[in-house]
Amino acid sequence: MRLSSIINLAVAGISLAQSDQKPLGPQPKSNKRPNIIFILTDDQDLHMDSLKYTPFIQKHLIKEGTFFSRHYATTAVCCPSRVSLWTGKQAHNTNVTDVNPPYGGYPKFISQGFNDNFLPVWLQQVGVDTYYTGKLFNAHTVWNYHSPFVNGFNGSDFLLDPYTYSYLNSTYQRNHDEPVSHEGKHTVDVLASKAFGFLDEAVKHAADRPFFLGIAPVAPHSNVEAATLDGDLGDIGDIEKAVVFTPPVPAERHAHLFADEKVPRHPNFNPESPSGANWVRKLPRQSPENVEYNDHFFRQRIRTLQSVDELVDGLFSRLERYGLLDNTYVFYTTDNGYHIGHHRMQPGKECGYEEDIHLPLIVRGPGVEAGKVADIVTTHVDIAPTLLDLVGAPIRADFDGEAIPLGAEEIDAAAETRHEHVTVEYWGFAASEGKLWRKGESRLTLNNTYKALRIIGEEYNFYYSVWCNNEHELYDLKTDPYQLHNLLHPDEAAPTEILGVPFAKVVSRLDSLLFVLKSCKGQTCTRPWQALHPTGNVQNLKDALAQRFDHFYGEQQKRVSYDRCELGYILDAEGPQFETDGLVYRHGARWDEWV
């Protein structure tokens, strides 16, 4: 039986069929619904082994829970990723695509109407008490936190800009109170005491009502001092001048750990030959001084994570003391990944490479197998459906993701049926968060706009992307796990065949899949082949590769392309559009014009 069905049985009395957003009436007296604690770090990597340095996370979560080894962000930057996480929607459906206005940030979240329509609000509607502390969104500031206040939380204590990334001078803002500065204290220690306080509060009602507690430390994000920011960042030029990134700042007690650690030297670390596409491919190799500085940057990250590790230990000892371990799910993930030196890039995120999109996701709780590594494909837009499912709330039709199975049996069953792709999308700039090493170098790279997909089946493992300048990328991660050979770059030798099929035929399928995904809504995002083959005879890439579809994919489809680069989701810059009521196109380049 599905884990969630067991939980649903325990909440008999609540009509699960109900799909509108009205409160669901009186809650059962004896409440067996589970509690949820959700820990969301900021910019934590999987590919530089950050989890190796956090023994409590290993002890309480990895050893006692299930590690989802193919978990992905859909947009590799804080605010869009978090909005997708808390709404269950791809960024092209939230249109919160940037960290700052006009295309993103808290003001855009508000103007898109999500303050009445996101996870904590839905949880409260089914009788879950909700608490949150730490960073919610970017551009949520000491100036705008009350206009309006964030909805949906019984208790909240948010980190606010411009002090969000000030490790030793954070500002938190509790409920409807005024912001409070914590000068001289380490932000993660401040956060831990707030998180424990909310847990104590939630526990008072836990016999009757389940709780959700979100904990969002800023570690291991770069440090950004408030002195460089003010309330009125006008355009990109202002942001570039104002935002000065420095390495994250650990608590004093961790400042001297890991003195010999370095960024793992994977083959794509500062490689001898250029790799990637667009601006990435033009980067010079980093000098030894640059690499040394970046190793320091790396150490500061794993040092700041020590505070998070202690927070996790503190949480579990409290859960144990309260006797809540058997009825509480604990999720651990991050908003996006991070690269340092990969493909010669300076410290940062915002790219589509594995380092930036492939993330830790660990879940521990009732019915979750201890020590399991699950290899089904999961994404951040699957999280909101998962959490609603756990508390027996209705799943919304407009979710772009689907609930992640948590029990071992369900996970194994899902391996046969679950989607095998991730929709990745990005608009705007990439920021270089390290030092600037070249004269006249700019911290921001514009035209970092792209659509991409990851697809992982038994026989294949690809990353395919189209940039706004219409450069293309394809990596075969089965043979090239470090994404060093972009098979669609003119300087690379493309294979004649992949999967026993001519190379161009594989690419045509991937392009058509991306064509659907880049504007998908609801179920089309998880069942895109259905949109291409409404009779249901194609369920995955393997099916689509059948020779009888060669003409359909090779000749009949328009290709993904852009008319120009924009910093946000400007539809008429984005070339032909797929419409779900049939294959309707505006215009666009033919496949054979660029392959």
Ligand X SMILES: *[C@@H]1O[C@H](CO)[C@@H](O)[C@H](O)[C@H]1NC(C)=O
Which positions touch ligand X (CB under 6 A)? 95, 102-103, 124, 129, 154, 163, 169, 171, 181, 183, 205, 227, 446-447, 564-565, 568-571
Closest approach of ligand X to the CB of residue 278, in Å: 8
Our CA dihedral for 133, 139, 142, 146, rounded to 10 degrees, sits at: -80
Residue of 353, 249, 339, 358 lying closest to 294 (CA atoms): 339
Specify whether 79 is catalytic.
Answer: no
Between residues 192 and 565, which has the closer beta carbon with respect to ligand X? 565
Residues whose CB is less than 8 angstroms from the CB of residue 320 and which lie 6 or more positions away in sequence, other chains included:
none
Q: Which is nearest to 74 in space by CA: 86, 62, 60, 58?
A: 86
Are 417 and 333 spatial neighbours (Cβ–Cβ below 8 Å)? no
Measured in degrees and rounded to the nearest 5, phi and psi for residue 203 equal -65, -30
524 within 8 A of 513, measured Cβ to Cβ: no
- Our CB check for ligand X shows the closer of 395 and 444 to be 444
Question: Which CB contacts under 8 angstroms, 24+ apart, belong to 542-548?
Answer: 542/457, 542/459, 542/460, 544/509, 544/512, 544/513, 545/499, 545/501, 545/505, 545/506, 545/509
Shortest distance, position 442 Cβ to ligand X, whole Å: 10
**For residue 222, what is the DSSP state?**
P
Give the whole-angstrom CA distance, residue 557 versus residue 584: 10
Which lies closer to ligand X via its Cβ, residue 447 or residue 461? 447
Place of tokens 């370095």: 262
Q: Among 78, 79, 468, 525, which one carries the catalytic annotation?
A: 78
Determine phi and psi for 37, rounding to 5 degrees.
Answer: -115, 130
Which residue number, 168 or 595, has a Cβ lying nearer to ligand X? 168
Strand partners, 421: 455
Q: How far is the CB of 213 from ligand X (least distance, A)?
A: 13
Residue 260 and residue 59: Cα distance in Å, rounded? 24
d(CA 36, CA 8): 15
Q: Which residue is nearest to ligand X (CB)?
A: 181
CA-wise closest residue to 560 among 526, 530, 587, 582 = 587
* Cβ proximity to ligand X, 50 vs 95, nearer residue: 95
Contact 438, 353 (CB under 8 A): no
Min dist CB 575 to ligand X, Å, is: 12
d(CA 444, CA 236): 9
CB 183, min distance to ligand X, A = 5
User: Nearest approach, Cβ of 311 to ligand X (angstroms)?
Assistant: 22
Gap between the Cα atoms of 57 and 79, Å rounded: 25
Nearer to ligand X, 473 or 480 (CB): 473
Residue 170 CB, nearest distance to ligand X (Å)? Answer: 8
Which phi and psi (to 5°) does residue 307 adopt? Answer: -65, -40
Q: Quick one: 115 or 124, whose CB is closer to ligand X?
A: 124
Whether the Cβ atoms of residue 154 and residue 131 lie closer than 8 Å to each other: yes
Positions marked active-site:
78
